[in-house]
Chain A
Amino acid sequence: MPNIVVLVKQVPDTYSERKLASADHTLDRASADAVLDEINERAVEEALQIKEAQGGEVTVLTVGPERATDAIRKALSMGADKAVHVSDESLHGADIIQTAKVLAKAIGTVEGYDLIIAGNESTDGVGGAIPAMLAELLGLPQLTHARKVEIDGTSVKVERETDAGRTFLEAALPAVISVGEKINDPRYPSFKGIMAAKKKPVTTLTIADLGIDASEVGLANAASQVLESAPKPPRAAGQQITDEGDGGSKIAEYLVSQKLI
């Protein structure tokens, strides 16, 4: 009966305009709707499918500001059992290394975990590094970019897919895995799931609770600094080709001009 921790992150809705705050180049969280990252919905889905087949318990863990409770609630409404929320003002501007350290400590509060499931990369930070850093910090094997996961009592097998091709991995539990887009289609929360979510336990922790000092985290202590940022230039209008019998060759001409063929 696997005990699974799913790492979930709240991100600005990909459909809304995303901006950095002009003062410190951190994410302007007020300007966009915040949602549970879709890749994390897939991570939750995978955990739920394992639980439905084998029993066990699913805990979701997030490090994020107060309103990240909405993302937690969504994961709970999908069917996760409980949640841990690390929320602390001093984390504002935390970088990937700090976030990984905080996540590692927070995972330590979940007793007897067998499997940690993350998304392969977030849609806002797009670091794609948390799962690997976390595995390093916890001294666990990492099986990333999973498109298929199988676990039995003591080991996990993963079909890993990247642009480079497919690899088949196996490791002993406990382990860290990260899932890719193709892993599954996340479920919609059912009405009963939504109603039950509010009653499920959420443990809120500060970094002090995790034995981390404020001087180790936050924008001022980040390993790298954003010096400057500019909004993405608006996408230029595309070139339209009307097919008057010569559409194919016009497209070929365009591709040649872009050195694509």
Chain B
Amino acid sequence: MNFVESDERLALRKAVSDLGRRYGHDYYITKAREGAHTTELWQEAGKLGYLGVNVPEEYGGGGGGIGDLAAVCEELSAAGCPLLMMVVSPAICATIIARFGTDAQKREWLPRFADGSVVMAFGITEPDAGSNSHKIVTTGRRDGGDWVLSGQKVFISGVDGADAVLIVGRTEDARTGRLKPALYIVPTDAKGFTWQKIDMDMISPDRQYTLFLDDVRLPADALVGSEDAALAQLFAGLNPERIMAASFATGIGRLAMNKATEYAKTRTVWGTPIGAHQGLAHPLADAHINIELARLMTQKAAALYDAGNDMAAGEAANMAKYAAGEAAAKAADQALQTHGGNGMASEYGLGALVLAARVGRIAPVSREMILNFVAQHSLGLPKSY
């Protein structure tokens, strides 16, 4: 058993952290408030191969694992630049295409995932099928050699800056009952495909959209992999998604802790820095411990996934995502508290962090659904739904 990351992983963290800190949290927040994107950072990270560390070498990627990609995501987050699209584009979409795509799909997309020159959003959530994805109704109908896709999606991140969206639908002959998903690559300029921004209180350059698919005609090769293996395909993307969501969250937690400790060391109101008061020091220490525990579980999940142990990785990835969401939310809340009135001032960016950290409790799967999963699968308890 080894609890120390490899020299290469540590060097990667350092390099990514150096890059992320050159941009920093102010850059990120400014872009978000302007309604802009973090394109410069994305492209620079892409060119350095950081966004394609997990893409197979034969397609120009780094040939590393999800553990490497998670390290990139965590370090960028901790440096003040939590890139939500990293959770989606290279982690879910590239993984599914690399593992299940046809040769032609791999050749078309993977080299561009490798250098970050393509961004692919991921759409599974629907208005009437949030936590219960068995109720997805977006449907692909065969028409000659084509597919014709109709349906609606909500809360889909980053569509405005994406080249395509990987849409989880179902095929027509499987329209009812348990989900028999089908995955379609839908270019954002496809005819009949429109979207509308959802006003969110979160301050993020990666915004959420409602998507409308109105008889969108797609070529036969828009379907990823085979029609029958689709559930396995979907699950293949979900473990990396959870591991990345966990890293996204622990990075935000670390960012919050940095802000909090910096402030607690310098702010003095009773002749000693406020960080000396145990009422502040202990909750911060507690938050730090929980972040470290979540990081450890995240690394375990990534190691299991990269070792090819999908089953064990599934349980660990869910637990990591849960722990990370809780740890980040508590760290951000305590960081805000540590700042007193300044915690609410835009200048310090903590209000934005509190909501950003809270995403980890809701998306991509809510904490309650993870607790359900653990209750049923790990503890063998009966199901209420």
A residues neighboring B (CB under 8 Å):
73-74, 77, 188-192, 194-195, 197-198
Contacts and interface: CB of A to CB of B under 8 A. Distances in A.
Contacts of B18: 188
B11 A189 contact: yes
Q: Which of B11, B50, B52 gathers most chain A CB within 10 Å?
A: B11
The list of the 9 closest CB pairs from A to B, nearest first, reads A191-B49, A191-B62, A190-B48, A190-B49, A194-B11, A191-B53, A189-B15, A188-B15, A188-B19
Contacts of B11: 73-74, 77, 189, 194, 197
B19 A192 contact: no
Contacts of A188: 15, 18-19, 48
Interface in B60-98: 62-64, 68
A188 to B, nearest CB: 5
B7 A191 contact: no
Which of A77, A190, A191, A198 counts the most chain B CB atoms within 10 A?
A191
Interface string B16-60: 001100000000000000000000000000011110110000000
B48 A195 contact: no
B148 interface: no
7 contacts: A188-B19, A191-B48, A191-B53, A191-B62, A191-B64, A192-B62, A194-B11
Contacts of B50: 190-191
B202 interface: no
Nearest to B62: A191
Contacts of A77: 11, 15
Contacts, number: 39
A222 B3 CA distance: 42
A190 B52 CA distance: 11
Contacts of A189: 11, 15, 48
Interface of B: 7-8, 11-12, 15, 18-19, 47-50, 52-53, 62-64, 68
A190 B11 CA distance: 10
Nearest to B6: A198
A161 to B, nearest CB: 24
A194 B8 contact: yes
Overall SS of chain A's interface:
helix
B49 A198 contact: no
Nearest to B52: A191
Contacts of A198: 7-8
A195 B8 contact: yes
Contacts of A192: 49, 62
A73 B6 CA distance: 13
A189 B48 CA distance: 7
Nearest to B50: A191
Contacts of B8: 194-195, 197-198
A197 B52 CA distance: 18
Nearest to B22: A188
Given A188-B15, A190-B48, A190-B49, A195 B64 contact: yes
Contacts of A74: 11
Contacts of B53: 191
Given A188-B15, A188-B19, A194-B15, A73 B7 contact: yes
A198 B9 CA distance: 12
Contacts of B62: 191-192, 195
A30 to B, nearest CB: 19
B19 A191 contact: no
A194 B12 contact: yes
Given A191-B52, A194-B11, A198-B7, 11 more contacts: A73-B11, A188-B48, A189-B48, A190-B47, A190-B49, A190-B50, A191-B49, A191-B62, A192-B62, A194-B12, A195-B64
A98 to B, nearest CB: 30
A122 to B, nearest CB: 20
A214 B67 CA distance: 46
Contacts of A197: 8, 11
Contacts of B64: 191, 195
Among B8, B47, B53, B68, the most chain A Cβ lie within 10 Å of the Cβ of B8
A174 to B, nearest CB: 32
A195 B62 CA distance: 8
A225 B65 CA distance: 52
A195 B7 CA distance: 9
Contacts of B7: 73, 198
A108 to B, nearest CB: 30
A192 B12 CA distance: 10
A73 B10 CA distance: 12
A184 B49 CA distance: 21
A60 to B, nearest CB: 15
Contacts of A195: 8, 62-64
Contacts of B49: 190-192
A158 B14 CA distance: 33
A131 B47 CA distance: 34
A58 B34 CA distance: 44
A73 B14 CA distance: 12
Nearest to B68: A191
A73 B68 CA distance: 18
B119 to A, nearest CB: 18
A140 B12 CA distance: 38
Contacts of B47: 190
A158 B276 CA distance: 54
A195 B48 CA distance: 12
Nearest to A35: B14
A84 to B, nearest CB: 20
Find the residue from A74, A77, A189 having the highest chain B CB count within 10 A: A189
Nearest to A196: B8
Nearest to A69: B7
A105 B19 CA distance: 37
B261 to A, nearest CB: 15
Contacts of A73: 7, 11
